[in-house]
Chains A and B, each alone.
Chain A
Amino acid sequence: MKKQSTIVLAILVGGLALVANQIAAPWNSTDSNLGSNTVPFYGQHQSGIEIQRQANVTLVALNLIEGSDIESVGRMMRVWTSDAALLTQGKPLLTDSQAEMAENPANLTITFGFGHSLFEKIGRPELWPIAETAIPAYKIDKFEGRWDDGDVLIQVAGDDANSVFHAVHELVRDGAPFATLAWQQRGFVNAAGVNEGEDSRNLLGQIDGTANAKVGTPEFAERTWVQEGSLVNGTTMVIRRTRMNFGTWDKLSTTKKDAALGRTLADGAPLSGGDINTPMDFGAQNHEGEPAIPDNAHAKLAFTDNNQGVTRRGWNYDDGYTVDGTHDAGLIFTAFQSDLERYLKIQAILAEMDALNIWTAPVGSALFVIPAGVTEGEWIGQSLLEP
């Protein structure tokens, strides 16, 4: 009988050590002022990854203007590093266009990444720190050319939509001498204080994030942070915008919905029994003698043994209804992994067999490397661009 060892391991090691330096405790309802909560900006790793998802995210990709070089990218990152260090702490910029908007950061985090195209544009492709340069094409892809790759990524997340807006606005404005907007995606999960301690649901109603390593555990670090090389203490980030087909999903029985996932919608428990924290039992049979967890169930196919998991941080998006009455909504799937190969192995299997492919379609895809965190006086990306 094959058991889900990763969760067992997480339980065993959980709480043994807090190695990360910027783990914000999730907001809890006894806090008097969520608005004044801050997450440290400086640290070994960039903030905004090893933290329970805040309520709102805006992902912005920018492309360098013509004539950019390694020197101008350095100046850009010095401006942005300085901006992020202030805004995340609730401090307006001297040049702030609406200074009062900076006063309630509400766990604001700002995280920067570089795309492979940046290194090509500045003529330094050898500084790209990982083997893969792009996510390969899969037969399920239905890209629309609106949310793909980009030279620089900024992830702005926080528990207040106003402060997220303001930070994005200031960063894009201060970046104008260097880069122009390529695309943006806005997402959300539960508001702070809702379902505390539980993962938020995606828009298909499924609890999203089950079997992630817990923030602050050695397992989280092992899955997420690069251990050596120029990207040490950084990570790789995959962004897949996945549109959901609610027209057919809504008509499914709960039994069929559960079967597609391999877990119950109700509480996330595996169909092999137990609760959400019970390891999946792929040998278990239902009363008809068939596998309790179907072979094409999402949770089974995405399951990884031997601690080869990734850190998934999905955000729901809602673009409203289209003129034909279709609800254009879905998941901005983001994943962070110390080794991109981990993600690629899982994605290749899901692309071929995942039952959920019937109701979901990737419409955009991007790959970025997330440089290490910095201490005061350094700028984000310095470790990659000044090796």
Chain B
Amino acid sequence: MLGLSISALTACSTSDSASSVITISDPVVRANDEMSMQNEATGKYMTGSFMTIANSSDEEIYLTGGSSDAAAIIEIHEVINGEMLPMSDGLAVPANGDVKLRMGGYHVMLMEQAKELKAGEEVTVTLNFSNGESVDYTAPVKMIAMDDEVYGAEMMP
């Protein structure tokens, strides 16, 4: 781990599409801790990732899903009345606007993690959007304290 650079820590995003209209900034992944949920069957951890997603086009675009070497399943969730719920239609990123994925609100769920994630590591995630774009981001893993209610909901894959 020591050899990894921290260049991505200050936020960056890359896209494999030349006509990219989606920008991801300030991404972070929550480190696993004693509060982290684990799949009861597999024992594998899950955690959340947070960021700001901007859309420079004139059309509303939906974040529909993603993939990562760090987790077998990537889902888009929102917290409603303290309960985490998957967003089956995806998360709308408004035309010429942005959406903030924050603790206690929208977030990208990393489920069935390949391994426990510790503070100071880095994770790369690819997010897929309804306009066909796929955008990579590399986020630092940080300890994030959260209210019990946010992470207290029973959410197993």
Contacts and interface: CB of A to CB of B under 8 A. Distances in A.
A379 B142 contact: no
Given A79-B140, A79-B142, A376-B10, A178 B2 contact: no
B119 A75 contact: yes
Contacts of A177: 31, 33, 118-120, 143
A377 B2 contact: no
A31 interface: no
Q: Is chain A's binding surface mostly helix, strand, loop or mixed?
A: helix
B120 A72 contact: yes
A82 B143 CA distance: 14
A173 B144 CA distance: 9
B28 interface: yes
Interface string B138-153: 0010111100000000
Nearest to B26: A94
Contact of A176 (B1, B118, B143): B143
B42 interface: no
B6 interface: yes
Interface string B62-85: 000000000000000000000000
Contact of A71 (B1, B33, B51): B1
Contacts of B106: none
A76 interface: yes
Nearest to B52: A94
A85 B7 CA distance: 11
A378 B5 contact: yes
B70 to A, nearest CB: 15
Interface in A53-77: 70-72, 74-77
Interface in A355-387: 376-379, 382, 385-386
A78 interface: yes
B6 A178 contact: no
**Among the interface residues A72, A74, A94, which one has the most CB atoms of the partner chain B within 10 A?**
A94
Contacts of B33: 177
B99 interface: no
Given A75-B119, A94-B26, A177-B119, A377 B142 contact: no
A233 interface: no
Contacts of B3: 386
Nearest to A374: B6
B107 to A, nearest CB: 12
A386 B1 CA distance: 11
Interface in B1-23: 1-7, 9-10
Contacts of B50: 94
Interface size class of B (residues with CB under 8 A): 20 to 34
Nearest to B122: A78
A79 B119 contact: yes
Contacts of A81: 6, 9
Contacts of B133: none
Nearest to A70: B2
B143 A377 contact: no
A379 B119 contact: no
B98 interface: no
Contacts of A79: 119-120, 140, 142
B90 to A, nearest CB: 22
Interface string A73-107: 01111110110011000000011000000000000
Contacts of A382: 2
Given A75-B119, A376-B10, A386 B2 contact: yes
Interface string A168-192: 0000011011100000000000000
B121 A75 contact: yes
A174 B142 contact: yes
Given A79-B142, A94-B28, A177-B31, A74 B2 contact: yes
A86 B33 CA distance: 25
Nearest to A80: B120
Given A94-B26, A95-B28, A86 B10 contact: yes
Contacts of A71: 1-2
B10 A82 contact: yes
A386 B143 CA distance: 24
A364 B84 CA distance: 50
B28 A385 contact: no
Interface of A: 70-72, 74-79, 81-82, 85-86, 94-95, 173-174, 176-178, 376-379, 382, 385-386
Interface of B: 1-7, 9-10, 26-28, 31, 33, 50-51, 103, 118-121, 140, 142-145
26 contacts: A70-B2, A71-B1, A74-B1, A74-B2, A74-B120, A75-B121, A77-B120, A78-B4, A79-B119, A79-B120, A79-B140, A82-B6, A82-B10, A82-B140, A94-B26, A94-B50, A95-B103, A174-B142, A174-B143, A176-B143, A177-B33, A178-B119, A377-B6, A379-B6, A382-B2, A386-B3
Given A74-B120, A376-B7, 5 more contacts: A76-B120, A82-B10, A94-B51, A173-B143, A177-B119
